[in-house]
Amino acid sequence: MLLVKGKVMKWKLMILPALLLPVLAAAAPKLVENGRSDYAIVLPQSAILPEETAAKELQSMLKRISGAELPIVRDETYAGKAILLGRSDRTAQLLGVDFRELRPDEILLKQCGDDLVLSGDRPRGTLYAVYEFLEELGVRRWTFRDEEIPHLATIGLPPRDCRYAPPFEGRDRLGGTNGTYGAWMRVNGHYLNVPESHGGVIRLIGWCHTFGEMIPPREFAKSHPEYFAEVDGKRGVWDDRNGFPQLCLSNPEVRRILREKTLERLRSEKNSRIISVSQNDSWGAMAENYCRCEKCAALDQAEGSPMASVLSVVNEVADAVKKEFPGVLVETIAYHYTRRPPATLRPRENVIIRFCTRNNFLYPWDSGENAAGRDEFLAWSRIAPKLYVWNYTANFGNTMMPHPSLRNYAADLRFMAANNVIAVLEQGYGRGLTGDLLPLHNYLLCKLMWNPQLDQEKLTDEFLTGYYGAAAPAVREYMDASWELFRRRALKLGGSMIEKEALPLADLLELKRIFDRAEQLVQSDPARLLRVRTAAMVVDLPILHSAEAAYENRETPAGRELRSRLDLPALVRKTAETYRKLDCRDFYRENGRLSIDSYIDTAAKRVTGDWSGGRPAPDICRDVRPEDWRRFGPESFVSWECTRKQEDGATVLEFPTRKNNWLVHWNYRPEFGLDGEWRVFVALRTETAVRNGNALMIGSSGFGQRPVRIDECRGKQFRWIDFGVRNFKGGGRLVFAPSGIDQKLEIREIVLVRENRSK
C-alpha cells in the first residue's frame, strides 16, 4: 500500500488503517516532500516503447499531483534515489524474479530501501504497474475524458512487495474504453485500438463471422449455390435484413477454400497470434439457418449439435495452420445454434472456443434463471483447451432505456475464472458516456476483468462518489429501484429490448422522481449536474416516446394526466440541451446505427405533432392534419458514398454516379407511431442524358421492390414518387439503389400520409 498526504477525498484515505498512518509517515522514504523530490525515474537502455511511455506518464502525473518533476534517466546503474522501471539485470535482482517466467500482463511493485521498482511482463506489465502506483496515490480516470487528480505536497513510500497476474489473459470491453484510456483500464483486446506506445492489443485477424469474408455470398451465391447452406430445400437464398447465409460445411470445395483463405491471410499478416474462422451472423428469420443437407445433417444429428459440422471444418483448418504457423490459434464462436458442444468431437489444442452468452442479466450466470446457458458453458469448459467468453452487457435494441445489467458482474467473472476461461470480451455499445450509467459499467467491468476478486460494491461506491458527487446516493437509489422494478414485473433483461418490452410509464415516472432529486443535489456543480442529466436521459427519452406522450393521444385520459404532470416540450428541450453540452455524438440502436440526435428529434415531433421539419407542408399534404403526415429527410437516412447539400432550407442527398448498390437506407421504427396504413411518397430528381430505363430501385422490408423510371423523375424540380400504401407496424426499412447509369440523382425527403384518416 502507498501512503499519501495532502488533499485527498475520504475514500482515498482508506488505503491504510488510520492508526498506522503516523508511524508509516515518519518511517517511509519521501518520494516528494513539500513539492520537491530528489528521485529520478530510471529506465534501462533496453526499454521498449510502452516502458518509455510508462516513464513519461509517471513523470507527467507526479508533476500534476505534487509539482515535482522527476528527471528520466536512461542508465540502470544510476546511484541516486530512483523509481526503477522495466526489465534489467538490476531490477531482476531486486525483484528476485526470472522475467521469462512472468504470466501475461503480470505486474511487480516492490520497495527496495529508498528505491521503488515498477516492472512486469512485456509489453504492458511495466505500464500497468505505473498505473497501479498512480491509482494508489488517488488518481482516477472515470471515463476517457473525466479524471480526478489529487494535490499532494508530500508523497511517502511505505514498504511494499506486490506481484499480481490477472486471471484473464485477454480483457476486452466494447463501449467507450478505446485508445489510451483502454490502456489505463488494463484492457488489451483486439477491438480497443490501444496504440503500440501503450502496449497495443492482442490482435485477432478477421474480427468474427468470417465465413462470409472468405466465401462472400454476393460473389458466389449465383455461381456456386452448392457452397451455401441448404435450408427448406433451397441454397444460396437469404434476406440481408437478417444477416448472411451459412455455408455447407460438408462440401469439399468449401473446406478447401476456408483452409486456403485462412493460410493466405496469415501469410499476409505479421506477428499474428489468433485468426477467426467462424460462422456468419444471422438473426430473426435466419437465426437457425445452418445447413440441413444430407451430409451436414448426418454429422450434426450424430453429435447432437449443429456445432459438429462447424467444429469439424475448424479443426481441419487448425491442422493446416499448425503445420505452417505453429504458434497461431484458430478461434471460432459458440453462438446461437452452435452453443451446445458436440457429443464426442473435440476442439484441437490450437482452437479457441469463444462462448457467446444469452443470459437474463437480472440474475447471476450461475443461477437457476440462467440454467440453460450456464449448462452449455460448463459443458464447453470441460472439453475446450482454450475457452474465451463473449458476454453481452448492453441493450442493443435501445441503449437509451433503463437496463440494470451490472449487479452480477463480479459474480459472473469469478464464475468464468473458476471454469477455465482465459479471455473475456464484455460487449457494450456506444462511446462511453450515454446509455444506462455506461461510465459505471465500463469502470466496473474493466476493474473486475483485471481482478474479479475486488469488492464490486466498494468499486461502485467509489465511482458514484467520485463521478456524481453529492448525487451519488440518489444515483444508487435509481440503480436499486430500476433493478427491483424489472424483477417485480418478471421482465427478462435481454440484449435486444425495445420500448414496448420494458418498463411502463408509471415505473419510468417513479425513476424520474429519483433523478429529479439527484439533480437538486448537484445544482451548484455544473460538471456533475451534466453527468446526472446525461444519466437521466435513459428515463426521460422513454417517457417522451411513450404512447401517452404522443400528440395524437393528448386528449385521452392517460395523455391528459401525463401532460398535467410534465411539460413534455420543455423536457424535450432540456434533453436536447443536455446532449448538446455532452458533445459526444452516439447511437442508440445497433441495427441501423440510429443516432441519439434522431431519437431526440423524433421525441420532439411526437409530443408536439409537428413533423414538418420547420418547413411548409408539401402540396400532397396541404389539406392533411399535422398528426396525419410525417416528413423524414436525409438527416434520418443512413447513407454510403453520398454527398449532402442545402437547398431552399432542406437537406438534399446526392447519390454517386454509375453506382448500383443499396446506398441509402431509411429505417422506420416503432417510435415513429406509424400504426395502421400509410401512403409513401419519395421526392426524387435526376439529370441525365440517358432517355430510357430506370433511374432508381426502391426496396422495402416485406413489400418487394419498385423501379423508378427516368422519365418519372427527370428535371430540375423534385418529383413525388408514389410507392404505394404500406403498413409499417414493427419497424423495418426502405432502401434506395441507383441504377448504375451516368446521372445526377438526388433525394430530398420521404413523406408518409395516413390512409383512412379523419377528414
- Per-residue model confidence as pLDDT tens digits over 439-479: 999 999 999 999 999 999 999 999 999 999 999 999 999 99
CA atoms lying within 13 Å on the CB side of residue 95: 26
Q: What whole-number distance in Å separates Cα of residue 119 and Cα of residue 137?
A: 17
Q: What percent of the chain has pLDDT over 70?
A: 94
pLDDT category at 627 given cuts 50, 70, 90 is confident
Q: Calculate the CA 355 to chain-centre distance.
A: 18
Same domain, 602 and 640: no
Q: Is residue 460 part of a domain?
A: no
Give burial (CB, 10 Å; 0-12/13-18/19+) of 163.
middle
Same domain, 160 and 274: no
Kindly compute the dihedral angle of the four CA atoms of residues 145, 148, 153, 155, in this order, to the nearest 10 degrees.
-100
Same domain, 571 and 618: no
Q: What whole-number distance in Å separates Cα of residue 215 and Cα of residue 257?
A: 8
Q: What are phi and psi of 572, to 5 degrees?
A: -60, -45
Whole-model pTM: value is 0.90
CATH number for the domain spanning 708: value is 2.60.120.260
Please give the pLDDT value at position 576.
97
Assess whether pLDDT exceeds 60 at residue 672.
yes
Same domain, 15 and 158: yes
Q: Is residue 250 part of a domain?
A: yes
Same domain, 144 and 261: no
Q: Is residue 466 part of a domain?
A: no
Q: Is residue 697 part of a domain?
A: yes
The Cα-based distances of 56 to 111, 135, 140, 147 in angstroms read 21, 16, 18, 18
Give how many domains the chain has, as a whole number: 4
Same domain, 565 and 619: no
Same domain, 596 and 625: no
Give burial (CB, 10 Å; 0-12/13-18/19+) of 580.
exposed
Q: Are 211 and 247 in contact (CB under 8 A)?
A: yes
Domain that includes residue 736, residue range: 611-754
Q: What whole-number distance in Å separates Cα of residue 222 and Cα of residue 755?
A: 40
Q: What whole-number distance in Å separates Cα of residue 430 and Cα of residue 584?
A: 10
Q: Is residue 365 part of a domain?
A: no
Please give the pLDDT value at position 282.
82
Q: Is residue 361 part of a domain?
A: no
Average pLDDT, the chain: 92
pLDDT category at 560 given cuts 50, 70, 90 is very high
Q: What is the CB neighbour count within 10 angstroms for residue 6?
A: 16
Q: Is 96 left (phi over 0), alpha (psi -120 to 50) or beta?
A: left
Strands 421-427 and 587-589: unpaired
Same domain, 744 and 618: yes
The cell for 328 is 497461431
Same domain, 624 and 745: yes
Q: What are phi and psi of 654, to 5 degrees?
A: -105, 125
Give burial (CB, 10 Å; 0-12/13-18/19+) of 481.
middle
Q: Is residue 403 part of a domain?
A: no
Q: What is the CB neighbour count within 10 angstroms for residue 342?
A: 23
Q: What is the CB neighbour count within 10 angstroms for residue 621?
A: 20
Same domain, 630 and 591: no
Please give the pLDDT value at position 17.
36
CATH number for the domain spanning 54: value is 3.30.379.10
Assess whether pLDDT exceeds 80 at residue 242.
no
Q: Are 654 and 647 in contact (CB under 8 A)?
A: no
The angle, 0 to 180 degrees and rounded to 10, between the axes of the packed helices 568-582 and 526-544 is 130
Assess whether pLDDT exceeds 70 at residue 332.
yes
Please give the pLDDT value at position 239.
64
The cell for 139 is 488518481
Please give the pLDDT value at position 759.
60
* Chosen domain end from 553, 575, 607: 607
Q: How many residues does the chain have?
A: 759
User: pLDDT digits over 290-330, tens only?
Assistant: 999 999 999 999 999 999 999 999 999 999 999 999 999 99
* Chosen domain end from 320, 339, 358: 339
Q: Are 168 and 388 in contact (CB under 8 A)?
A: no
Three-state DSSP class for 242?
A: helix
Q: Are 722 and 679 in contact (CB under 8 A)?
A: yes
Q: Is residue 447 part of a domain?
A: no
Same domain, 160 and 15: yes
User: pLDDT digits over 174-208, tens only?
Assistant: 988 989 999 999 999 998 999 999 999 999 999 89
Q: Is 576 left (phi over 0), alpha (psi -120 to 50) or beta?
A: alpha
Same domain, 601 and 490: yes
